[in-house]
Amino acid sequence: MARYTGVYGFPESADGARRLADALNVPCHIAELHRFPDGESLVRLPEPVERAVVYRSLDRPNDKLVELTLAASVLRRQGATELCLVAPYMAYMRQDAVFRPGEPISQAVVGDWLGRLFDRFVCVEPHLHRTHTLDEVFVGRPSVCLSGAGAIADRLRRDGTAPDAVIVGPDEEAAPLVEAVAGPLDLTALVGRKERRGDRDVTVTLPDGAPLAGRPVVIVDDVISSGETIFSCARAARAAGAASVRVFGVHALFDAAVAARFEAEGLGTPLSCDGVPHPSNALPLARLIADALAAPC
């Protein structure tokens, strides 16, 4: 008997939910959402699911968190005995400490909130910093933290990436992703140093003597939003003599204006994994997630 008996998705991520359901060979149901004039949400889940996977990426998360809470309450009332949240992008993970007086530890707040609703969690590159595992976020709940590196490496392999290509990450936080992409392809890995002065004020420097002259560079990062980190990293790579620059991101959160800047910077369109629905999606995650769900906790 399959562990899960159905997948529930939401309108904005319906395609991803269906791909996952196909990979699991179970039915897929899409929640009905209604927004009242005052901004409140109404969630309808017409099909009961005994052991449900709830699929929703938590980019732009605030309304989605409330709607997940309502959906989980419905599924429990309908008799669900197990609820697994698959959130390819997990929100509120970066604020894992009090950096200035009066701030919340958002990671702990959201971890406790969702941990009361779901029995298990699967996320992809959840942007953890000082927290080492998702088990520290969802205390007492089994959780799986997946990497988008395999999807990026598969695409580079299919594209016939040159053997002298260098996989570059903009900072030390990107080092695990960089190494996981470069290792299976036997490519050189390189990590820069990022100085952030504000959300859109970033400078990336690469190590002195970085061996990039005349070589293709592939920049990889977990999240691309304003694009400033990637733009600075690409300029540094070109200053070091890179012959070409390609960009891959696990989670694409950038808008059309930033996409136009990528074109203006001569970087083309970055390729991203399909956990967050986005025009740049080119790297599938359904099989990776389905395999994780099939594995024992």
Residue 1, pLDDT > 50, answer: no
Quick one: pLDDT at residue 94? 87
Q: 146, 162, 197: which is the final residue of a domain?
A: 146
**Residues 91 and 223 grouped into a single domain:** no
pLDDT band at 74 (very low <50, low <70, confident <90, very high): very high
Q: Which tops the pLDDT comparison, 87 or 197?
A: 87
Using the 3D structure, point to which of 114, 146, 178 is the last residue of a domain.
Answer: 146
Task: Tell which residue, 40, 135, 57, 120, has the closest CA to residue 84.
Answer: 120
Is 297 a member of any domain?
Answer: no
How far apart are alpha carbons 190 and 182 in whole angstroms?
A: 9
Angle at 147 between CA 130 and CA 246, to 5 degrees: 105
The residue out of 146, 161, 190 marking a domain boundary is 146
33, 42, 100, 114, 202 from 68: Cα distances, Å: 11, 11, 30, 9, 34
pLDDT category at 2 given cuts 50, 70, 90 is low
Q: Would you name the residues annotated as active-site residues? A: 194
Shared domain for 129 and 158, answered yes or no, is no
Is pLDDT above 50 for 39? yes
Condensed to tens digits (0 to 9), the pLDDT of residues 203-213 reads 999 999 899 99
| 258 inside domain | yes
The mean pLDDT of 5-12, rounded to a whole number, is 96
Q: Cα(118)–Cα(142) distance, rounded to whole angstroms?
A: 10
**Residue range 144-152: mean pLDDT, rounded:** 97
- How far apart CA 21 and CA 25 sit, in angstroms, is 6
Does residue 240 carry a pLDDT above 50? Answer: yes
Whether residue 59 contacts residue 276, with contact meaning beta carbons closer than 8 Å, is answered with yes
Phi then psi dihedrals of residue 83, to 5 deg = -125, 125
Range of the domain at 132: 6-146
Residue 295 lies in a domain: no
- pLDDT bucket at 99, cuts 50 / 70 / 90: confident
Model pLDDT for residues 164-209, shown as the tens digit of each residue: 999 999 998 899 999 999 999 999 999 999 887 766 678 999 999 8
Residue 199 confidence (pLDDT): 65
Instruction: Report the greatest alpha carbon distance in the chain.
Output: 62
Count structural domains, the chain: 2
Task: Say if residue 124 is in the same domain as residue 226.
Answer: no
CA distance 212 to 226: 25
Cα(96)–Cα(290) distance, integer angstroms? 29
Mean pLDDT across 108-116: 96
Percent of residues, the chain, with pLDDT higher than 70: 98
Same domain assignment for residues 10 and 142: yes
268-296 pLDDT per residue, tens: 999 999 999 999 999 999 999 999 999 87
The single residue listed with the structure tokens 């690469």 is 206
What value does the mean pLDDT take over residues 244-260?
97
Mark whether 156 and 103 lie in a shared domain. no
